[in-house]
Amino acid sequence: MAQEAVKTGIGGEQPFEDTGVKVFRSAKVVKGGRRFSFAALVVVGDRNGTVGIGYGKAKEVPPAVDKAVKNAKKNLCDISLVNGTLPHKVVGKCRSTSVTMVPASPGTGVIAGSAARAVLEYAGVRNVLTKINGSTSAKNVVKAVMDGLLRLRDKEAVESLRGVKVETVRRW
């Protein structure tokens, strides 16, 4: 869709990209016919650990997308990543949807459906395996993926929380 450069405090400018995940149409039947309204689900991210989701409604599609992008930029979150993948396996949930995300070896790519793929790619995840259980509604899948990404903790964060040194065990 569009790229916008946002100034950061540290090293200059980072471009935020946005993409529409899905546009929803609803109709109200009135005396003269049908009145349509639209809602847009959008993902915004810098492909480097920052991502947000937004939802906007309007009478036409372009204003709905603009509102959703504005909403997504308000909801930006930082994600813990390790070498382009997740630090550990995680399950994100939203209502009846659960999304299991498993870190993958380099070169695997993003193995995910369209809604989950949009969030993961704009977050900067390059190697991951996913499985969606329950409802596959785009709204719930996007929220479940965000829930899972926000549950991620890297090794340093776990060490500081527990006050002990954590050793990693390689299983492959």
Reported as type and span, the H/E element at residue 169 is none
CB 117 within 8 A of CB 142: no
Short-list 86, 90, 120, 121, CA closest to 106: 86
| Structure-model confidence comparison of residues 101 and 158, the more confident one | 101
pLDDT value for 163: 82
Q: Domains plus CATH for the chain?
A: 3-77 (3.30.160.20), 79-162 (3.30.230.10)
pLDDT by residue (tens digit) across 110-142?
A: 999 999 999 999 999 999 999 999 999 999 999
Q: How many CB atoms lie within 10 A of CB 116?
A: 26
pLDDT at residue 158 is higher than 80: no
pLDDT value for 10: 45
pLDDT value for 74: 95
- Taking the C-alpha atoms of residue 120 and residue 141, their distance in angstroms, rounded to an integer, is 12
Give Cβ neighbours of residue 162 (< 8 Å, ≥ 6 apart).
none
pLDDT value for 9: 41
- Taking the C-alpha atoms of residue 123 and residue 110, their distance in angstroms, rounded to an integer, is 12
- Taking the C-alpha atoms of residue 146 and residue 127, their distance in angstroms, rounded to an integer, is 17
Looking at 53-62, 63-72, 159-168, which range is the least confident one? 159-168
Report field, pTM of the whole predicted structure over 0.75: yes
Concatenated DSSP letters for 35-94? EEEEEEEEEEE-SSSEEEEEEEEESSHHHHHHHHHHHHHHT-EE---BTTB-SS-EEEEE
